[in-house]
Each structure stands twice: as structure tokens, then as C-alpha cells.
């Protein structure tokens, strides 16, 4: 179960492998120029937003995004290893094919982290991040966000954009489900 407190989530900025639609997994692909600009734009969107703790995946694309955003906040960045992207093993660098649909359905290719274990690992890491002083900003990966979508019962078909912060509100008496709102800089 997802710990029921408000939090912010930010997927890392774009990489060249995102553009090529290659499976990054745990391969440590850096941000490209667009990804750096996206992280800088996220920094400005989050400037003035209360953030007590920034928690990041150890992978460079997420950590560098967190570092750029943190220029507006001056917090220590806490790195949680289990916020890393899914391990796709020998499939990293390739594209998603029929094996990927099978993997989502529970058929795991050799050397690939099983989908259900990945979601469990991601949820545990998110909950560990949310145990830190809040408000918490989690900077990680699109795949890690699937745990939020799954356990928060959010739209699982929505693809989290690169470096677009999302604010999450837990269920309450007025609204029985999780709410997610993109902080795109537009007025509410």
C-alpha cells in the first residue's frame, strides 16, 4: 500500500535513449541537452514549492535531474538504490518488442527483473522516501512511477513525461482516491 501522505514525483529529463525508444533499465545513460533544459525548467516550476527532502535514484539521469532542481532548494539529496529503473539485463539498449508485453503479463525473459518484483521494490523505495521529512520530492524513472499508478489507482495508461513534476494527494473524506496534478506552470 502506498503511504498516504502528499508528495511530489519527477521523472528524469530526456536521454538519447529516450529519443531512440531504447530500453534504458539500469544502464547509466546521461541526460542529453534537451534533458538538461527540461531539468532546468522543472527547477523553475518547483521554485517556491515547499520541499523538505529530495530523494533520487542512483542512476545519473535521475540524480543529475535532482541536482539541477535542487539548485533552487539547497537540500541534501538522499539516494535510494531501490529507486533505480527496472533491470532489463540483456534487453537493455534494445527496443520493446513482443517480449515486453509478455513481461508485463508476468512472463519474464532470462536476465530481466520480474515485473511484480520490480513493482514491489519500487513501492518499498517510494514508501521509504515518504518516511523522510516532508514534503518529499522523488526523482526517479517512468517505470518506478508505475508503482504509484498501480497502488494509487491512477490512470495506468498515462505516460509520465520527462521532467514534468506531479503533485500527489492521498485519499480523504472529500475524495476517496489518489489525485495527481501536473505542475506545468499554468495557473490552477
User: What are 48-98's pLDDT values in tens digits?
Assistant: 999 999 999 999 999 999 999 999 999 999 999 999 999 999 999 999 999
pLDDT band with cut points at 50, 70 and 90 for residue 36: very high
Residue 41 clears pLDDT 80, i.e. is over it: yes
Measured CA distances, 164 to 90, 94, 138, 187 (Å): 29, 25, 12, 15
* DSSP E strand stretches across 60-133: 77-79
Q: In what order do the strands lie in the sheet with 179-182?
A: 77-79, 53-56, 136-140, 7-11, 166-169, 179-182
- Domains observed in the chain: 7-182 (3.40.50.1240)
The helix/strand/coil state of 110 is coil
Mean pLDDT across 111-116: 97
Mean pLDDT across 154-159: 91
Judged by average pLDDT, the poorest of 79-88, 133-142, 176-185 is: 176-185
Mean pLDDT across 158-172: 96
pLDDT of residue 80: 98
Grid cell locating 44: 523553475
Tell how strand 166-169 and strand 7-11 pair up: antiparallel
Catalytic residue among 14, 73, 85, 141: 85
**Is 85 one of the catalytic residues?**
yes
Q: How far out from the chain centre does Cα 122 lie?
A: 9
pLDDT of residue 57: 98
pLDDT of residue 186: 61
Measured CA distances, 46 to 40, 68, 73, 165 (Å): 10, 11, 9, 8
**Is 12 one of the catalytic residues?**
yes
Supply the pTM of this predicted model.
0.96
Amino acid at each position: 500500500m502506498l503511504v498516504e501522505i502528499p508528495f511530489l514525483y519527477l521523472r528524469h529529463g530526456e536521454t538519447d535513449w529516450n529519443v531512440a525508444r531504447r530500453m534504458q533499465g539500469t544502464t547509466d545513460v546521461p541526460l542529453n541537452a534537451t534533458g538538461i533544459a527540461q531539468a532546468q525548467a522543472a527547477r523553475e516550476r518547483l521554485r517556491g514549492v515547499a520541499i523538505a527532502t529530495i530523494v533520487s535514484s542512483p542512476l545519473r539521469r535521475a540524480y543529475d535531474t535532482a541536482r539541477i532542481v535542487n539548485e533552487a532548494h539547497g537540500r541534501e539529496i538522499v539516494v535510494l538504490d531501490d529507486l533505480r529503473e527496472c533491470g532489463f539485463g540483456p534487453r537493455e539498449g534494445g527496443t520493446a518488442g513482443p517480449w515486453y508485453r509478455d513481461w508485463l503479463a508476468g512472463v519474464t525473459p532470462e536476465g530481466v527483473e520480474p515485473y511484480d518484483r520490480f513493482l514491489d521494490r519500487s513501492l518499498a523505495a517510494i514508501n521509504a522516501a515518504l518516511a523522510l521529512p516532508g514534503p518529499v520530492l522523488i526523482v526517479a524513472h517512468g517505470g518506478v512511477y508505475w508503482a504509484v499508478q498501480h497502488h494509487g489507482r491512477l490512470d495506468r495508461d498515462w505516460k509520465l513525461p520527462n521532467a514534468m513534476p506531479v503533485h500527489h494527494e492521498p485519499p480523504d473524506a472529500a475524495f476517496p482516491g489518489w489525485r495527481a496534478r501536473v505542475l506545468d506552470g499554468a495557473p490552477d
